[in-house]
Amino acid sequence: MESKEEEPNVSCGRPVCLHNPHLDALKDDILYHFSLGTGTHNLPAMFGDVKFVCVGGSPWRMKSFIEYIAAEVSLQDPNSDYPNICAGTDRYAMYKVGPVLSVSHGMGVPSIAIMLHELIKLLHHARCTDVTIIRIGTSGGIGLEPGTVVVTKQSVDATFLPKFEQVILGQTVVRSTDLDQSLAQELLQCGNELKQFPTVVGNTMCTMDFYEGQARLDGAFCYYTEADKQAYLNKVRDAGVCNIEMEATVFAAMCKLSGIRAAVVCVTLLDRLKGDQLTSSHEVLVGFQEHPQILVGHFIKKQLKAKAADLSPLINIRGAMRRKESHAKL
């Protein structure tokens, strides 16, 4: 039996919202796959200043991202060593510089879902506010040149519907995969400002498999023809899908439930209408994988500059008040 889950009213605003009354009964909340916990770590001190969270599949890629951000926004010496905060586990990797947190999530819906449960709880326990979370990654393009960056407008499943389904207590629960459209437009604007690579906004299809689930012909098993594959991919294109990956639906659903502003930014490594296998050189693929971090780095830099500009008048007023009080004492 399929049931449409009644979504909670996410009206708590700026904080990161949890919707689990059972957590109140816990003495300590153990974030097992991060090797962190409320009883063993001072999460507000460690993470309370986080405003931007970037997540991606590869631990190596997420360390590279934090090194890039440190240099891009001059938060810290880019040659510094950035220790893995989750070194006590081999499941995920986590790095931090200033208000930016970088976390790996592995591959596929189950892996990123586990990570997001603990990440959302971490941000809540750390009392973070006004958090923006962006998934950066790679994908297969649909009718796009390799190297194009796709900012997701709507995440859809393999039947082109904007929903994420999960079996809970034996029933299929359906959740919305809406993403923040204003954030998507801000990221598109960043791409237009950079002019380093094509950037588009479009639908992203999330599948549960890399091979048959994405209509590839080169897996260990395949019971359909080239004509079947092309017919399906043409339907994908006609549904407004620009790229295919394996995490976007659950990412969008969980971020929406927690009230976090979220976006998906993925580079296309190939055009699936023209083939299944990656034929570009390693150097070219590595260059493509840098495109999302360049775009998101530009976005974060703009946001930090804007925030500093907003605070500047307040800082000047406070300074003037302190000088006035000092002169009054004289």
* Domain boundary assignment for the chain: 23-326
Binding site membership: which residues?
A: 91, 135-138, 214, 216
CATH topology of domain 23-326: Rossmann fold (3.40.50)
Using a CB cutoff of 8 Å and minimum separation of 24, what contacts does 215-220 make? 215/272, 216/276, 217/276, 218/276, 218/277
Model confidence at 314: pLDDT above 80: no
Report pLDDT for 78: 61
User: Tell me: the pLDDT tens digits for 251-266?
Assistant: 999 999 999 999 999 9
Binding site membership for substrate: which residues?
A: 214, 216
Report pLDDT for 14: 74
Report pLDDT for 1: 45
DSSP state of 16: P
Report pLDDT for 7: 45
Residues 6+ positions from 53 with CB-CB distance below 8 Å:
100, 101, 102, 103, 119, 123, 131, 132, 133, 134
Residues 6+ positions from 138 with CB-CB distance below 8 Å:
57, 245, 266, 267, 268, 269, 288, 289
Secondary structure E strands in 157-260 = 163-168, 171-176, 199-206, 241-245
The rounded mean pLDDT for the chain is: 91
User: Tell me: the pLDDT tens digits for 147-183?
Assistant: 999 999 999 999 999 999 999 999 999 999 999 999 9
User: pTM of the entire structure?
Assistant: 0.89
Nearest to 175 by CA among 19, 309, 304, 13: 19
Report pLDDT for 74: 77
Residues 6+ positions from 293 with CB-CB distance below 8 Å:
54, 61, 64, 65, 68, 69, 136
Model confidence at 63: pLDDT above 80: yes
Binding site membership for phosphate: which residues?
A: 91, 135-138
Helices 181-194, 282-329: crossing angle, 10 deg rounding = 100
**For residue 301, what pLDDT band results from cuts at 50, 70 and 90?**
very high
